[in-house]
């Protein structure tokens, strides 16, 4: 729980045609030689293509090199070969980890959630899922604020003929001191035509007068 988004590594302790490649790959991985480890895991897979553990370790070696797409594919291959929900959850967890490290919070949250569905007792997955959700919400709020700022900084649009006609009608209502009607007219026009935003100052003025009169 203290170390967020950590990978899980299988240690290959079984025998088989690819045992030497597997052991050497693990040794290379533990030594930080991830490229060499990747090549050795691939060699082991050629010998035993249905051995799920090779794919899992291969995904870890690829992840350490920043090969996100390749690593995800390896973890998905592992997931397709294993039977137990707990093992499938490990693949989902590592995919979530990869995505979280790249600040891809929305898909990361999806895969951590998948991991929890498969293994509800995994507290690390629960913790990381909650963090990914929080980061996703923060990111969405920042994007919304940025969009609002960009919109505020944009020059007003050129009003369309419709917008000009609506403003003239609102001005007529203002001349008759029918401020509330003028404001409502411009609000409806704004919903129908974004270029009515060119008259935001006018709309704000009649709103203020309308509010004063209503009090």
Per-residue pLDDT of 110-169, as tens digits, reads 999 999 999 999 999 999 999 999 999 999 998 888 877 776 677 778 999 999 999 999
pLDDT mean over 191-214? 88
pLDDT mean over 36-49? 93
- CA nearest to 71, candidates 46, 91, 88: 91
pLDDT mean over 203-207? 91
Instruction: Name the 3-class secondary structure at 160.
Output: coil
* Segment 107-121, tens digit of pLDDT: 999 999 999 999 999
**Assigned superfamily of 19-150:** Tetratricopeptide repeat domain (1.25.40.10)
Give start and end residues of each alpha helix (H) in the chain.
19-30, 34-47, 52-64, 68-81, 85-101, 105-118, 123-153, 161-175, 179-192, 200-214
pLDDT at 18: 60
pLDDT mean over 94-104? 93
Helix axes 161-175, 200-214, angle to 10 degrees: 30
């Amino acid at each position: 729980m203290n170390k967020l988004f950590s990978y899980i590594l299988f240690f290959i302790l079984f025998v088989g045609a690819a045992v030497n490649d597997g052991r050497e790959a693990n040794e290379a991985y533990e030594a930080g030689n991830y490229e060499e480890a990747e090549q050795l895991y691939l060699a082991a897979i050629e010998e035993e293509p249905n051995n799920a553990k090779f794919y899992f370790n291969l995904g870890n070696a690829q992840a350490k090199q920043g090969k996100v797409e390749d690593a995800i594919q390896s973890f998905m291959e592992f997931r397709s070969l294993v039977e137990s929900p707990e093992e499938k959850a490990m693949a989902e967890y590592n995919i979530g980890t990869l995505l979280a490290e790249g600040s891809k919070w929305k898909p990361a949250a999806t895969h951590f959630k998948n991991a929890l569905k498969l293994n509800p007792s995994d507290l690390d997955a629960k913790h990381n899922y909650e963090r990914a959700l929080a980061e996703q919400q923060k990111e969405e709020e920042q994007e919304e604020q940025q969009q609002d700022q960009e919109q505020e900084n944009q020059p007003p649009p050129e009003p369309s003929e419709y917008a000009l006609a609506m403003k003239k009608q609102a001005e007529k209502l203002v001349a008759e001191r029918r401020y509330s009607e003028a404001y409502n007219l411009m609000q409806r026009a704004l919903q129908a035509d974004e270029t009515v935003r060119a008259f935001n100052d006018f709309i704000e003025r009649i709103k203020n007068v309308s509010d004063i009169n209503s009090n």
